[in-house]
Amino acid sequence: MVEHVPVLLDRVLELLAPALERESAVLVDATVGLGGHADALLSAHPGLTLVGLDRDPNALARSGERLARHGDRVHLVHAVYDELPDVLAGLGFARVGSVDGVLMDLGVSSMQLDVAERGFAYSKDAPLDMRMDPTAELTAAEILNTYPAADLARVLRDYGEERFARRIANAVVTARATEPFDSSGRLVALLYDAVPAASRRTGGHPAKRTFQALRIEVNGELEALRRALPGALTALRVGGRIVVEAYQSLEDRLVKRQLTELATSRTPPGVPVELPGHGPQLRLLTRGAEQAGEQETEHNPRAASVRLRAAERILEAS
């Protein structure tokens, strides 16, 4: 397994620092993964309490080992990030204005990609699993073997932005009638045949979009993120900050939309003064989405697709 390298670590530390300087600050790492960001933040802020969530029990075990030196300042919970309000309530934190910082490092983790048996990487022949939480029921194989062609095409189109979604879905339905899908190698071979050669030459690996779409559907990633962001933002106190790292355009658009909406005044146009309670709730801390520099990308290729956005709460949640 390759070394775990947290993406944009210095920038994450810089953006969250002003919110974590107060004594007894609380940070939620909503996707703690292998604990790289969390470890650095706990080291930088000796009074910080960390609430770390992850849906992958294997990742929690690894991060637990890494963060053990920080003692009782760490609370790790097996949960998806849309369960954040309930997690905070269970730990004795009020739901509104109880948190100083939130970090969300979205997408598939290094550990999940590197363990072939998890089925996330199209470069390795493995079982078609793709569950971030191995205790969940739905797998990529089940989607491929049971979804009607129209539903499968919808998943590929909506979550993979796949131009040839219908063509691929029809090919899958035809192929599974002879033999159900159980390995990524067979799916990759089908995709090579289904995607036109001209697109293969210019559009990257023909399996990339399909594998992304299947992973998002298996784990309900976009729906979970859509539910999670309001809960995370509501939990922030005034002066609290959120940092989100997204690795594909669907996630980044959703994050951009929610942050921009709360950073915009709700006072009707033409009203000369800001109406009470209608002002912006957030201040955007980044101009657009920030990307990793060339040096970091060379050292850590998985940083190439990152899009980082950050905001600070300036008005209490309504």
CATH entry, 9-111+221-313, from 3.40.718.10, 3.90.550.10, 3.40.50.150, 3.40.50.1110: 3.40.50.150
First CA to last CA across the chain, in angstroms? 45
C-beta atoms surrounding 201 within 10 Å: 8
More confident residue, 200 or 138: 138
10 annotated ligand-binding residue: no
248 annotated ligand-binding residue: no
- The tally of CA atoms less than 13 A away on the side-chain side of residue 167 is 11
133 annotated ligand-binding residue: no
Where does CATH 3.40.50.150 sit in the chain?
9-111+221-313
Given the structure tokens 């309900």, which residue do they identify? 220
pLDDT over 70 (residue 117):
no
112 annotated ligand-binding residue: yes
Where does CATH 1.10.150.170 sit in the chain?
116-219
Buried b (16+ CB within 10 A) or exposed e, 146-169: ebebeebbbbbbebbebebbbebb
CATH 3.40.50.970 matches 116-219: no
C-beta atoms surrounding 215 within 10 Å: 23
CA pair distance 76, 63, nearest whole angstrom = 9
Q: Provide mean pLDDT across the span 251-255.
A: 97
- The pLDDT tens digits of the residues spanning 74-115 come to 999 999 999 999 999 999 886 678 899 999 999 876 555 555
pLDDT over 80 (residue 198):
no
105 annotated ligand-binding residue: yes
